[in-house]
Amino acid sequence: MAIDLSTVDTLEQALTYHRERHTVLAGNVANLDTPGYRAVDLQRRTATTPGALATTHEGHIATAATADVVTSFDDGGALQSSDGNAVTLERELSKIDANRARYSTSAELVSRRIALLRYAAGDGT
């Protein structure tokens, strides 16, 4: 009987991404009063999405089709204060809250998957 742990691996990648994104978003809030600071954010894409890494020459190393690519981008928005700061506290806090909810959901799914594996390994006891 083969045990498929790919779900746990995928959820582990999601947890890592959301943890790293929280750090970036918290940095935006910390720089709320820094003149000229522009908010940044992380974006996770699979390698099959447009703009992702591609093998365009036979000498290039191919990436796995399911590999995640995390990129940082300027998320300053169009509104800037008089000192050039483009961080909006309400926007950053809403992104932090949405990120927290996704992290909690992923953590709960990992917990349930491991509990299911533990149950199956213990012959249902």
Task: Give mean pLDDT, residues 35-45.
Answer: 87
Flag whether pLDDT at 69 surpasses 70.
no
Q: 25 burial class (0-12, 13-18, 19+ CB within 10 angstroms)?
A: buried
**Torsion of the alpha carbons at 54, 56, 59 and 64, rounded to the nearest 10:** 20
Predicted structure pTM score = 0.73
* Each residue's pLDDT tens digit, 93-119: 999 999 999 999 999 999 999 898 888
Secondary structure class of 8 (helix, strand, coil): helix
Task: Give mean pLDDT, residues 38-49.
Answer: 76
Q: 69 burial class (0-12, 13-18, 19+ CB within 10 angstroms)?
A: middle
The pLDDT of residue 21: 94
* Alpha carbon distance 27, 93 (integer Å): 11
Flag whether pLDDT at 49 surpasses 70.
no
Report how far Cα 4 is from the mean position of its chain's Cα atoms: 23
Flag whether pLDDT at 56 surpasses 80.
no
Q: Which two tokens stand for residue 33?
A: 């009063």
Cβ atoms of 52 and 71 within 8 Å: the answer is no
User: Residue 8: which pLDDT band, with cuts at 50, 70 and 90?
Assistant: confident
